[in-house]
Amino acid sequence: MALLRLLALSLLFAVATPVRDIAHDACSSEVKDFQHLNNSSGLHLTLHHPQSPCSPAPLPADLPFSAVLAHDGARIASLAARLAKTPSSRPTLLDESRAGSSSSSPDDESLASVPLGPGTSVGVGNYVTRMGLGTPAKSYVMVVDTGSSLTWLQCSPCVVSCHRQSGPVFNPKASSSYASVSCSAQQCSDLTTATLNPASCSTSNVCIYQASYGDSSFSVGYLSKDTVSFGSTSVPNFYYGCGQDNEGLFGQSAGLIGLARNKLSLLYQLAPSMGYSFSYCLPTSSSSSSGYLSIGSYNPGQYSYTPMASSSLDDSLYFIKMTGIKVAGKPLSVSSSAYSSLPTIIDSGTVITRLPTGVYSALSKAVAGAMKGTPRASAFSILDTCFQGQAARLRVPEVTMAFAGGAALKLAARNLLVDVDSATTCLAFAPARSAAIIGNTQQQTFSVVYDVKNSKIGFAAAGCS
């Protein structure tokens, strides 16, 4: 566990300006007038890079990038296990025979060993925002994850364990609108698909959830409902997990907001009033830049779209079809079938994009050829196409990723290369094993919309900085 605590700091994504160098008044908690937002409707939240000095839970910026890669690898491995439906185990469950009452958190728990299904590693590249909960509402820093369904946060009295978080832990007893959920409720049965783990039941009929993640992080607690709020918008009877045993790599966040395709996700619970779509722009880690998370309506004419692809592997994840990549205007020397040799997922929490092996090899060769005048550097962990210098100071070729339906991502240097230390930058791609994944390095500064109702995903350039 000591190792887990140390690597929790791998929320960091790249070398950035230390927190002390940024004046606090340079940061804004308000969503700016981003060009792709529909400011007349919808719910708009400020989104921060996990390493940004303006994050509500900022972290130091001097950790090795190797730690980031290690936990990015854990996320990839967990997604692979999830697609293969490979179970895992973790000795952490609130004992069903000693759970508390249906109206408050218990005071006496023990642990039992139970099988836990594969989840998705969080905490490496996940972005953060704020969520209000309870009556009266209190604000909590939450990581945002398109690969998870159940929203949960730490709750007092933290009977077993709570990790360190920014601000106070949520106290259910202080909220007049809080209620635990009974084992007979449909939402309790829905936990199996939301968390990939079966629900448990206390002797007092309280539903117990188990959310496990690929890096051995987990949250176990009581399925609950309360009023959730974002600014002036409040929604009653929101179902979430009230965590009593929360351990692992969540940084200083209070918990996690799930945006996957599942009836218990935040998206689906807010959809009746907001609509079945959400969009975001993931900002870079530099300076005081921020992005946004928007739930509800958007400006449809500003995006290029690709259909959401159906997959029997996991119907909660977002699959799309990649059709090609060009480097300096020239298609890669691979067959069109190479792009579809593996399923492709778009994910907000993966840092390094994974490509089918043949496609990756061709991309590496093409980029290296286009940058042949730039001194090469040694490989850095899984990143084998590296150069001397920093991405922002190098001349790089234009790289375009194309998707079914005509959607495309035209990558700038910041989307193509990642600085692994002060003197080295590497191609921010790696070969995939079981699934291709479009990670957040390539998505940064683009507006990305997930129109679940119309089963399509859209991209628009220059969404944020």
Count the Cβ atoms, other than its own, within 10 Å of residue 445. 18
Catalytic-residue membership of 226 = no
Helix (H, G, I), strand (E, B) or coil at 251: coil
Considering only CA atoms, which of 114, 123, 113, 117 is closest in space to residue 74? 123
- Structure tokens that stand for 121 in this block: 């590693």
Burial zone of 165 (CB within 10 Å; 0-12 exposed, 13-18 middle, 19+ buried): buried
Q: Which of 245, 347, 419, 451 is flagged as catalytic? A: 347
Considering only CA atoms, which of 303, 290, 273, 258 is closest in space to residue 408? 303
Cα→Cα distances 426→156, 201, 377, 389, 397, Å:
43, 49, 8, 10, 14
Kind of pairing between the strands at 291-295 and 277-281: antiparallel
Q: In sequence order, what are the residues at sequence separation of 6 or more whose Cβ sits closer than 8 angstroms to the Cβ of residue 425?
A: 377, 386, 387, 389, 390, 391, 394, 417, 418, 419
Catalytic-residue membership of 245 = no
Q: Which of 145, 190, 314, 451 is flagged as catalytic? A: 145
Q: Which amino acid is at 216?
A: S
What is the spatial distance between Cα 80 and Cα 435, in angstroms, rounded to a whole number?
7
Considering only CA atoms, which of 121, 122, 3, 15 is closest in space to residue 60? 15
End-to-end alpha-carbon separation of the chain, Å? Answer: 36
**Neighbouring-strand partners of residue 155:** 170
What is the spatial distance between Cα 160 and Cα 111, in angstroms, rounded to a whole number?
9
- Structure tokens that stand for 229 in this block: 């709020």
Count the Cβ atoms, other than its own, within 10 Å of residue 159. 22
Considering only CA atoms, which of 399, 367, 382 is closest in space to residue 433? 382
Max Cα-Cα span within the chain: 70
Q: Which stretches of 95-189 are assigned E, i.e. beta strand?
A: 114-116, 127-133, 138-145, 152-154, 179-180
Catalytic positions, written as ranges = 145, 347
